[in-house]
Amino acid sequence: MKTNDAVEVFAALAQDTRLDVFRLLVKSHDPDPSKGGLAAGEIASRMGIAPATLSFHLKELARAGLLVSRKDGRSIIYRVQFDKVSAIANFLLEDCCEGRCGVCVSTSVPETETA
């Protein structure tokens, strides 16, 4: 992954609502691409977001490559593009432990408290 692509992903996630929508969609994952994900209306309802506002946030997440969508009848179903999530994780860790990733992988990272 190129640095510019990573910056685009981080910019898309650097907003409270978009991060919350992304995390909600992660929870709805199913390995079968024809399943999983949530309809835009369902996301709006669960998050308490106006449809126009949600549309803007979904567009930003999709532009960054974090979401894909499919049509299901009259609904558009959004799901996380896990290939992109994996690529950003690899980008963040590619120089981990000076190239000795086995060291980093075996080290557990303590959970931080959330505010």
- For residue 30, the model assigns a pLDDT of 82
**CB distance 59 to 101 below 8 Å:** no
- For residue 1, the model assigns a pLDDT of 85
Structure confidence by residue, pLDDT tens digits, 9-21: 999 999 999 999 9
CATH number belonging to domain 3-93: 1.10.10.10
**CB distance 17 to 11 below 8 Å:** no
Structure confidence by residue, pLDDT tens digits, 22-76: 999 999 988 787 788 999 999 999 999 999 999 999 999 999 999 999 999 999 9
More confident residue, 53 or 1: 53
Write phi, then psi, for 72 (nearest 5 degrees). Answer: -135, 95
Name the pTM for this structure.
0.80
**CB distance 11 to 64 below 8 Å:** yes
Answer whether residue 8 shows pLDDT above 70.
yes
The residues spanned by each domain of the chain are: 3-93
Q: Which amino acid is at 112?
A: T
- For residue 103, the model assigns a pLDDT of 62
Answer whether residue 101 shows pLDDT above 50.
yes
CA 23/CA 26 separation, integer angstroms: 5
- Quickly list H helices, 1-115: 3-13, 16-27, 40-47, 51-63, 82-93, 101-106
